[in-house]
Amino acid sequence: MASKKKTIKTVTSAASVKTIESAVASLTDIAAASDKAVVSVAKANKTLGTAAKRLSKKRASLSKKKKSASAKVKKDASAINKKALKAIEKEMAAIKKEADKVKGQKATVSAELAALKVAAKRASAYVTSLAKTDVILNKPKKKKRKKRAKKTA
């Protein structure tokens, strides 16, 4: 049985130019989009960082209040002092719960930000190298001067 010969499909110059142009355009779009994404995720990361810092300060001040309130309860175990201590402990528990939530979100966002920065750096490097290559390739050809005819004496 005779096997069929595979025909090689030839690519036209117009098709190859079109493919190259679309690839360069999509790479440029990706670089721009990744830069925007880095900016927005960095903003979210900064917001989460400030929230974590705020909660940490609040927790520290509540810890001091709890210490003084527990000292008051030891001196005088009245209902008012016990109630104040319970309120502080309840608020500390709520702060701890919120801080744990923010901490998890910040870890996720930080990991995403690091990955986005790597991708954006890579895309921008490709775009700049392609721009430099285009400049080199699009230089006009130098005109060669015709050699002068030798003078005969």
Among the listed residues 47, 49, 39, 43, the one whose alpha carbon sits nearest the alpha carbon of residue 120: 39
The two tokens of residue 65 are: 């209040």
153 burial (CB, 10 Å; 0-12 / 13-18 / 19+) is exposed
The dihedrals phi and psi of 34, each to the nearest 5 degrees, come to -70, -35
pLDDT tens digit sequence for 11-63 = 888 999 999 999 999 999 999 999 999 999 999 999 999 999 999 999 999 99
The two tokens of residue 71 are: 């000292």
Query: What pTM, to 2 d.p., does this model score?
Result: 0.68
Virtual torsion, Cα 80, 82, 87, 91, nearest 10 deg: 150
pLDDT tens digit sequence for 92-151 = 999 999 999 999 999 999 999 999 999 999 999 999 999 999 888 888 888 887 777 777
